[in-house]
Amino acid sequence: MRVYVLNGVNLGRLGTRQVDVYGATGYADLVALCERTGADLGLEVTVRQTDAEHELIGWLHDAADEGAAVVLNPAAWSHYSIAVRDACAMLRGPLVEVHISNIHAREEFRHHSVVSAVATGVICGLGLDGYRLALHHLATLSG
């Protein structure tokens, strides 16, 4: 199974941005975790991050065209980007939305995700382990 692990705005700053919320682990370590987990599970994993909304939408279109599964951390775009939500709705493969922090325990404007309604499942508040769990879930669907 082909899986895109897509990360939105500011996630490239992991390890230096609000470490009390997102932890001290850097983005390169997240990429390594996803690639290692994917390889262990027999998944073909591609990990990407962008601060450009149009680029994320293009990757979602590619995943839709391929019928690939997606693990998506839309970051701040979760809360307001109808364009990201609409691109997610085009996916033919499963979509697992992941948030490192518990968005329901943070500022009120973070409590709602426009993406969740079109996701297969949502994992939030489990730190980087949420990515590993999302990949394990997807592996059960392919096996």
Residues 62-91: tens digit of each pLDDT: 999 999 999 999 999 999 999 999 999 999
Residue 4 falls in the annotated catalytic set: no
Listed in sequence order, the residues at least 6 apart from 115 whose beta carbon sits closer than 8 Å to its beta carbon are 72, 74, 77, 78, 84, 85, 88, 97
Domain count, the chain: 1
pTM: 0.93
Candidates 22, 104, 112, 131; catalytic one: 22
Instruction: State yes or no: 86 annotated in a binding site.
Output: yes
Percentage of the chain exceeding pLDDT 90: 80
Instruction: State yes or no: 82 annotated in a binding site.
Output: no
Candidates 99, 111, 131, 136; catalytic one: 99
Residue 99 falls in the annotated catalytic set: yes
Strand order in the sheet with 69-73: 44-49, 2-7, 69-73, 95-99, 121-124
pLDDT of residue 45: 98
Question: CATH code at 57?
Answer: 3.40.50.9100
Instruction: State yes or no: 103 annotated in a binding site.
Output: no
Is pLDDT of 125 > 70? yes
Instruction: State yes or no: 123 annotated in a binding site.
Output: no
Mean confidence (pLDDT) of the chain: 93
Could you tell me the residue range of the domain that residue 118 belongs to? 2-142
Spatial distance between the Cα atoms of 69 and 59, rounded to a whole number of angstroms: 12
Instruction: State yes or no: 79 annotated in a binding site.
Output: yes
